[in-house]
Amino acid sequence: MKLFRYLAKEVLVSTAAVTLILLLVILSGRIVNYLGRVAEGKMSFDFLFIILGLHVPSFIQVILPLAFFLSLLLAYGRLYIENEMSILFASGVSKVKLGVYTLGIALFVTAISATINFWVSPTFEYKAQEMTRSQSQLTAFDFLQPGKFEGSGQKATYIENFTADEGWMENLFISDTTIKSNQRIPTQTLARYGELVRFAEHDGLQYLVLKDGVRYEGTPGTGNYSLTTFDTYAIRIEDRPMQDITAEEAQPTLSLLQSSDPKLVAELQWRISLVIIVPILAIIGLSLSQVNPRQGRFFKMLPAIILLITYLGMLIWGRTALEKQIIPAQLGLWWVHVIFLLIGTYTFLLFNQAFSRKSAKLPKNKESRHA
């Protein structure tokens, strides 16, 4: 058990480190995308970090198998370079026993992957979809910042401040267009105060209520130009239909099991594949991690990564083929795993030299002397 704990520590610590690095790389790309949406007024800044946190399990479910495979290569490669593996084999630890230990570590990672794929990730994705749906119901006025113009071109909005007590918008400017006689006419509205009013009893009907203002409509210098002063003026905010949550990633695993929809079947096969891939990669990684100290620990990294990319590429293609019903649902993605399980078995047999051993033969001249 001491040996198993030692190997597990080496692999799992490396897996955690690689997972964190890959996660940060993915999150940095997403943050740039979300910051652009915040700048466009399509998302609040607070919502950015919430939605990123909810998407983390979905990122980890793909990252974890890759991180485990790379960590296995790095950790075992270091043991070979520093001749620790040679000492283990000389102490009576067979390569088969090393394989059993490696599969034990892989089963632990598999259990974590199964928990994330079948429960944690769908739950968090559902909450992310819910929050995204609620965020889509917000209007441009929910994203307004005092002293800053929002929008571009003919459509722009500006508020000077919020009142301290009531929270009213103060000194508003709204530039927009209205359609009359099939013509788009520019309008500008200025008001001393403004407030968003929602009527929950009327399916969330929303109005922007303006106080003490003036409204300009039309093009200055033309006959259809008008000016209207008002004490109270209400502008109806267009309703946005609430969409159902239909994303495959947000569906519970039990719902996927009961569905015959090709997209949901493909999603179920994908979740299962990200779990099954871990022990198969463990077998392949164990075999490819064996290096000569003179070769360096990264000698077999390139062919291992090529094999990994091929594996994932075939799974992604198979998922797309399932969605388009190019391959039958009964076949699923199992054929991909069978192919790489055979590859893993073959590489392990080579690693263990199970079929390369030959009985030693004496030279002919020595055989004659003994005769």
Among residues 104, 83, 76, 111, the alpha carbon closest in space to that of 304 is found at 76
* Residues 336-350, mean pLDDT to the nearest whole number: 91
Please enumerate in sequence order all residues whose Cβ is within 8 A of that of 57, keeping only pairs 6 or more positions apart, or say none: 116, 120, 121, 124, 125
Q: How would residue 371 be classed by pLDDT, with cut points 50, 70 and 90?
A: very low
Convert the pLDDT of each residue in 275-296 to its tens digit: 999 999 999 998 888 877 676 6
Contact (Cβ atoms closer than 8 angstroms) between residue 191 and residue 213: yes
| Residue 239: per-residue pLDDT | 59
The more confident residue out of 9 and 143 is 9
* Residues 23-42, mean pLDDT to the nearest whole number: 78
Whether residue 137 is predicted with pLDDT greater than 50 in this model: the reply is: yes
Instruction: Provide the token pair at 77.
Output: 């490669």
| Residue 22: per-residue pLDDT | 92
Q: Please, what is the average pLDDT of the chain?
A: 81
Whether residue 307 is predicted with pLDDT greater than 70 in this model: the reply is: yes
| Residue 337: per-residue pLDDT | 95
The pTM of the full predicted model, rounded to 2 decimals, is 0.72
Convert the pLDDT of each residue in 194-241 to its tens digit: 887 776 555 557 777 888 888 888 777 666 778 888 888 887 776 555
* C-alpha span between 234 and 237 (Å, rounded): 9
Convert the pLDDT of each residue in 105-134 to its tens digit: 999 999 999 999 999 999 998 888 887 776
| Residue 133: per-residue pLDDT | 72
| Residue 129: per-residue pLDDT | 83
Instruction: Provide the token pair at 364.
Output: 């002919």
| Residue 166: per-residue pLDDT | 65
Q: How would residue 178 be classed by pLDDT, with cut points 50, 70 and 90?
A: confident
Q: What is the dihedral of CA 131, 133, 135, 136, to 10 degrees?
A: 170
| Identity of the amino acid at 81 | I
* Residues 5-33, mean pLDDT to the nearest whole number: 90
CB crowding 15-29: b at 16 or more within 10 Å, else e: beebbeebbeebbee
| Residue 360: per-residue pLDDT | 42
Instruction: Provide the token pair at 175.
Output: 């530039």
| Residue 153: per-residue pLDDT | 64
Q: How would residue 191 be classed by pLDDT, with cut points 50, 70 and 90?
A: confident
